[in-house]
Structure 1
Amino acid sequence: MIPNNLQNYLKMNTLRTLRTCERGHQYYKSSDCPVCPICESERQPESDFLLKLSAPARRALENNEIKTLEELAKYSEKEILKFHGLGPASIPTLKEELAKAGLIFKN
């Protein structure tokens, strides 16, 4: 009988597929997420507050043309939480960064 941790390891590695991004990077991934981890690690956010967020949360804001705190302040928390990739765990960080700049979420 194979131990559980070895079974899990084998299961995870059999689900991973080798992929190549449009820039030629090769990587393995088990989900259907199209993001290349190598390209993602090379990206630099335009604003410092974006550095404090997880990659999915940062992409969610960038994909919605939010690159500054001033742009972020135009949205309510409820609107922000509707963005794919941004969850409740990011809200305290966003509130803190807005407060440092003297801003708040829209009511």
Structure 2
Amino acid sequence: MAKCLTSICAVNHIVKSNDFLYGIIAVPARRSLEKEKIDSLEKLSGYSEKEIMQMHGFGKNAMEKLKNHMKEHHVSFRD
């Protein structure tokens, strides 16, 4: 009798390919943005800095990195 050779882990493991801000800010901050469906700089620009700072994972360091990245791409937070 043959057994199934499919690994349970391989079948159930789903890797998300969302690389928005990968390498820019830490995972907890990226997850907070993902939870709010913020997956582009254009969507991020619709929020104020204060609103983003209230999200889990955002502190001075993450915000500074995020603002530098946005500046490089000529995008800014709304007032």
Same fold (TM over 0.5): yes
Tell me the TM-score normalised to structure 1 length. Answer: 0.55
Aligned structure 1 segments of 4 or more residues deviating by more than 6 angstroms: none
Cα distance in 1 for residues equivalent to 2:57 and 2:66: 14
Query: CA shift at 1:86, angstroms?
Result: 2.0
* Displacement of 1:57: 0.6
Aligned residues: 69
Q: Name the one with the larger strand percent.
A: 1
> For the residues of structure 2 that align with 1:57 and 1:78, how far apart are their CA atoms?
14
Higher relative contact order (CA closer than 8 Å, sequence separation 6+): 2
Whether 1:65 aligns to 2:34 is no
Are 1:83 and 2:69 an aligned pair?
no
Supply the RMSD in Å over aligned alpha carbons. Answer: 2.3
For the pair 1:53 / 2:25, whether they are aligned, the reply is yes
Residue type of the partner of 1:99? Answer: K
Q: Deviations over 1:11-55 (max 9, x none)?
A: xxxxxxxxxxxx86xxxxxxxxxxxxx97xx543242xx111111
Asked if 2 retains the 8 angstrom alpha-carbon contact of 1:57 and 1:87, the reply is no
**1:64-98 deviation line (CA, Å, top 9, x unaligned):** 11110011111111000111222221111111111
